[in-house]
Amino acid sequence: MKKVVSISFGEIALKGANRGFFENQLIRKIRFALRKFENIHVSKDQGKLYIEPNPEDIEEIIKRVRKVFGIVYVSPCYKIEKDMDSIREAAVYAMKQEMENGKSSFKVDTKRADKRYPIKSPDISRDIGGYILENLEGSSVDIHNPDTMVYVDIRTSAYVYTEKHKGYGGLPVGTNGKGLLLLSGGIDSPVAGFLMAKRGVEVHAIHFHSYPFTSERAEEKVKELANIISLYCGNMKLYSVNLLNIQKEINKNCPEDEMTIISRRFMMRIAEAIAKREGMDALITGESLGQVASQTIQGINVTNSSVSLPVLRPLIGTDKTDIVEISKDIETYETSILPFEDCCTVFLPKHPVTKPKLEDIEESESVLDVEGLVKSAVESAELEFIK
């Protein structure tokens, strides 16, 4: 009886001819997440993946694998020969451990992926349930509300387990193109990056600052946020761009109430130039409709018109309370609320325009050397690899 870790797919199981591509990418991501462990072997067995680790590493391995997108459940389980005697003994052993933790009622649930196995699933469940009752005094069957489930999987081998640790689902990172995330130090953009990575996008990030008007501690905060979301997204490139010269030009030459929206258009242009240079397919923002002055429909329309790449906004219809819940779950929240300024607070207008018209904004920008300012910002961008 060998202790292994089983991995259940989500949407990957629904893929047709492309399923092999998604499974192989998932295996690569699992191996990357477990790169610090030695001699990790990942194998397929009729619709599931199995990891054979050192027993003392299982708890840490489950913690890391849960963060790999494409996985819905992770379970420590016992791998055994596919004969009923071995299955019975493993089931009793697993249930005995549950009883030591105060649980007594159980239900057996059998899945028979190997349809050639001569005993059908309901018959296996009845046999195993009866054997547990005979051999563990104090145990009882409750098919409606059991203290614990005893799962039996019949594949190339047989597997018995009682625990299911929920993963985040989604698709493996790298199966849906590349995106450049506009990463601020706030709550929303890290969540946006997390959600797009969950849909299989390889996420990299760009951050804008106004040093020395903004502090180095604000920069460190953004790097820490990138480090946290890289636990889900994998290795990231983080571009850092000083926006101060552009902000000064806007402040000097453009109407005060357009400061925010014009600055935003410059950020998008700079992000797009870097994304195209690096072969990325889209920009990603943490905008939520109506949350701040620049995130009205009119503001978003004016912002969109500054770039040609698709702009992915996974939070656009999401309430702030829901965004906060996700940020707490992925552990970015405590870093996001640290009270350091960002570039958007520099030259902040008292009354920013909330319903900008594109023709007005373009007329205001006509006095600026837009192309030259963007080119200079792109050339001065600093790059850091987040691993």
Tokens representing residue 295 in the block: 């995130």
Q: Is 207 annotated as a binding residue?
A: yes
Q: What's at 284, amino acid-wise? A: I
Look at residues 122, 128, 166 and name the one whose alpha carbon lies nearest to residue 150: 128
Q: Is 240 helix (H, G, I), strand (E, B) or coil?
A: strand
| Residue spans of alpha helices (H) in the chain | 19-33, 58-65, 84-100, 121-135, 188-198, 216-233, 244-253, 259-277, 297-304, 320-329, 333-336, 358-365, 370-379
Q: Is 348 annotated as a binding residue?
A: no
Judge whether 230 and 67 are in contact, CB under 8 Å. Answer: no
Q: Distance between CA 262 and CA 91 in Å, rounded?
A: 65
User: Mind giving me the DSSP string for 43-84?
Assistant: EEETTEEEEE--GGGHHHHHHHHTTSTTEEEEEEEEEE-SSH
Q: Is 182 annotated as a binding residue?
A: yes
Q: Phi/psi of residue 342, each to 5°?
A: -125, 175
Q: Distance between CA 325 and CA 323 in Å, rounded?
A: 5
Look at residues 15, 14, 18, 80 and name the one whose alpha carbon lies nearest to residue 45: 80
Helices 58-65 & 19-33, crossing angle to 10 degrees? 130
Q: Is 208 annotated as a binding residue?
A: yes
Q: Is 317 annotated as a binding residue?
A: no
CA 335 to chain centre: 17
Q: Is 295 annotated as a binding residue?
A: yes
Q: Is 138 annotated as a binding residue?
A: no
Residue ranges for the binding site? 182-183, 207-208, 264, 286, 295
Annotated binding residues for ATP, written as ranges, equal 182-183, 207-208, 264, 286, 295
